Amino acid sequence: MFDPVTLGALALRNRIVMSPMTRSRAGAGDVPTQLHAEYYRQRATAGLIVTEGIQPSPAGKGYCRTPGLYSAAQTEGWRRVAAAVHGEGGLVVAQLMHCGRVASRVNKNDGSDVVAPSAIRADGKIFTDVSGPVAMEMPRALHTHEVRFVVEEYRQAALNARAAGMDGVELHASSGYLPMQFLSSNTNMRTDRYGGSVENRIRFVMETLQAMGEAIGFDRVGMRVCPGLDYNDIDDANPAETYGLLLQEASALGLAYLHLVRRSFPLVDNFTLTKAHWRGRLILNNELTPKSAAAAIADSSADAASFGRHFIANPDLVYRIRQEVALSDYDRARVYTQGPQGYTDYKPANPA
C-alpha cells in the first residue's frame, strides 16, 4: 500500500485512495469554501483524493448543499482545494455526479428541471433542508437532441476541473444516478439510440467518457461503477451483460482507472465480472480494512484501495495504517451537517 503507483497521468505516492464522499457543506451558489480546502488538505497524504460528488450543471444537483463545477466562483473554490492538496504533495480528482431523477426540485437553486432517460419516478425519498425527506420527483425524459448538451456539461466541467488545477475527473456511474439510469433496463425505456439494446444503453456513458477524455486526456479520466447495485430504485435485468460490454468498450479508451465498489449480488459478482472485462488500472472499494486492502494489493486484485468512512474521522489515515495506530470512529450525526463540526475537527494521531 505504501508503494507508488501510476494511474494514467496520475502518479500516486501510495496506493491509499480517499473514496468520494458527499458532505453537504457547499456555500452560497454551491461554491466549495475555505472549509473544503482545509478538509481536503488534512487528508492529502492519501495517494489520491476523489472529491465528493460534484454536479456538472444546475440540473445535475439532487441533494442539498452539494458543490458544483460549472460557474466561475465554483471553479475558483476548487482552485483553493487543489492548491491546498498539492501543497501537501497530494493529488485530487473531481467526482462528477449528475443525479438525474434522484432529486427534488426543492434542492435546486434555480428551479431547473429534474431530467432522466425516461419519465419514471424513483421510488424513495430524498432529504431537503426546507421540508425534510420528500418523495423524489417525476423526471422529464431528455429529448434525443438534448443528450449531447448533458454530455457537453460533463466535458465543460472536466475542463473547469483542470482550469482549477485539479488532476482529473471521475465519472460517477454508480449509485443510481444519471449514467446508471441510462445503463439500467428499469430506468431506460428509450426507443432512440440511447435505449433498448445494451449497445444503446451504454452509449451515454461512452459518449461522456469520450467527451471528457478528448477535452482533458483519457489518462486523467476515471470511472466509478458498482454493477448489480439496486440503490435508488435501480433494477437492471442483466447487469453482467450491461457492464460486461461497458467495461470492454471503456477499456479501449485508455482511462486512468476504474473505481469498483466491490459487491456480490444474486445476478452478478461484480469483482469477477470486472476481472473478466476490464483492462486497465483498478481501484478497489467497499468495507476494506487496512488488512484486507493490503491483501488485495499484494495478490494483484487491485492497484490501489479506497477508503471512505475511515477517512472521515482519520484525516491521517495513511500514517495510522503505516504505524498501526487504532482508527477513530466518526460522528454519524454530523456527516451531512454544516460547519466544521464533524468535518474538519478530527485530529491527527500525531499532531506533529
**176 near ligand FMN (CB under 6 A):** no
H or E element in which residue 224 lies: strand 221-225
Cell numbers that stand for 72 in this block? 466561475
9 binds ligand FMN (CB under 6 A): no
Q: Give alpha helix (H) positions in the chain.
A: 34-42, 72-87, 144-163, 178-183, 198-201, 203-216, 239-251, 270-277, 290-298, 309-313, 317-323
21 near ligand FMN, rule: CB under 6 A: yes
Q: CA-CA distance, 157 to 169, in Å (whole number)?
A: 9
Q: Which of 309, 313, 327, 338 binds ligand FMN (CB under 6 A)?
A: 309
Least distance from ligand FMN to the Cβ atom of residue 177, Å? 9
CB atoms within 10 A of CB 41: 21
For residue 283, count other CB atoms closer than 10 A to its CB.
27
Nearer of residues 146 and 287 to ligand FMN, judged by Cβ:
287
Distance in Å, CB of 271 to ligand FMN, minimum = 14
At 185, phi and psi to the nearest 5? Answer: -70, -25
Only segment of 36-44, 99-107, 279-287, 292-300 that touches ligand FMN (CB under 6 A): 279-287
What are the angstrom distances between the C-alpha of 291 and each of 297, 298, 320, 321?
10, 10, 13, 9
Q: By CB under 6 A, is residue 19 in contact with ligand FMN?
A: yes
Catalytic, out of 39, 63, 177, 343? 177
- Burial (CB < 10 A; 0-12, 13-18, 19+), residue 294, is middle
Sole window of 117-125, 139-147, 185-193, 285-293 interacting with ligand FMN (rule: CB under 6 A)? 285-293
Candidates 308, 327, 334, 337; binder of ligand FMN (CB under 6 A) is 308
Active site includes 177?
Answer: yes
Based on the shown chain and the rule CB under 6 A, indicate whether residue 134 belongs to the binding site for ligand FMN.
no
| C-beta of residue 47 within 8 angstroms of C-beta of residue 89 | no
Q: Which of residues 15, 36, 172, 277 is near ligand FMN by CB under 6 A? A: 172
Nearest-approach distance from CB 170 to ligand FMN, in angstroms: 8
In the bound complex, what is the minimum distance in angstroms from residue 23's beta carbon to ligand FMN? Answer: 7
Q: What is the bridge-based pairing of β-strands 304-307 and 282-285?
A: parallel
Q: Which three cell numbers stand for residue 133?
A: 425527506
Does residue 20 belong to the site contacting ligand FMN (CB under 6 A)? yes
Query: Applying CB under 6 A, which of residues 49, 212, 261, 283 lies at the interface with ligand FMN?
Result: 261
For ligand FMN, the binding residues in 50-69 under the rule CB under 6 A are: 52-53
DSSP state of 290: H
Can residue 287 be called a binding residue for ligand FMN (CB under 6 A)?
A: yes
Distance CA 15, CA 89 (A): 14
**Type of residue at 200:** N
Single residue of 184, 285, 314, 344 touching ligand FMN by CB under 6 A: 285
Site string for ligand FMN, 198-227 (x = CB under 6 A): --------------------------x---
CB of 114 to ligand FMN, least distance (A): 18
Q: Are 104 and 121 in contact (CB under 8 A)?
A: no
Catalytic residue numbers, as ranges: 177
Q: Give the interface with ligand FMN as residue ranges (CB under 6 A).
A: 19-22, 52-53, 95, 97, 172, 174-175, 224, 261, 285-288, 307-310, 335
